[in-house]
Amino acid sequence: MTDDATPIAMLFERAEDYSKTTLRLFKLNAIDKSADVASTLVARLAVIMTVVFSVLIISIGVSIWLGKLLGDASYGFFIVGAFYVFMAILLHLFRKQWLKYPVSNSIIKQLLKEKMV
């Protein structure tokens, strides 16, 4: 009886080891993918923040310059503000095509990207 039980017990041991290894590999792959996506998003966020601050400073400069041309500083700020309201309306109307789908596609590509070893 022990001869028959030993191969079956070894088979169960190997199946248990295989399932533990498979689960560990799944966890490590999930960690790798999430770290890749998070690092990509942080890098893009850093670039976006730099662009936002640059646009803010340029907008203030353009507002002051337009105000001097028009004779009153507030006119320049109103014109630049109206421009941003127009841009916000455009972004709202086309948010799926310009923002949602490209961001979703980028995240999906990052998650499905195969690692080059």
pLDDT, position 3: 52
Question: Quick check: 70 and 57 in contact, CB under 8 A?
Answer: no
Q: How far apart are CA 80 and CA 62, in angstroms?
A: 8
Backbone φ and ψ for 14, nearest 5 degrees, come out as -65, -40
Backbone φ and ψ for 93, nearest 5 degrees, come out as -70, -35
Question: Quick check: 76 and 70 in contact, CB under 8 A?
Answer: yes
Tokens of 91: 């972004």
Exposure of 63 by Cβ count < 10 A (0-12 exposed, 13-18 middle, 19+ buried)?
A: buried
From first to last of its 117 residues, what are the pLDDT tens digits of the chain?
Answer: 445 568 888 888 999 999 999 999 999 989 998 998 899 889 999 999 999 999 999 999 999 999 999 999 899 999 999 999 999 999 999 999 988 888 888 888 887 877 766
Q: How far apart are CA 31 and CA 33, in angstroms?
A: 6
User: Residue 108 corresponds to which amino acid?
Assistant: I
SS3 call for 1: coil
The whole-model pTM stands at 0.65
pLDDT, position 1: 44
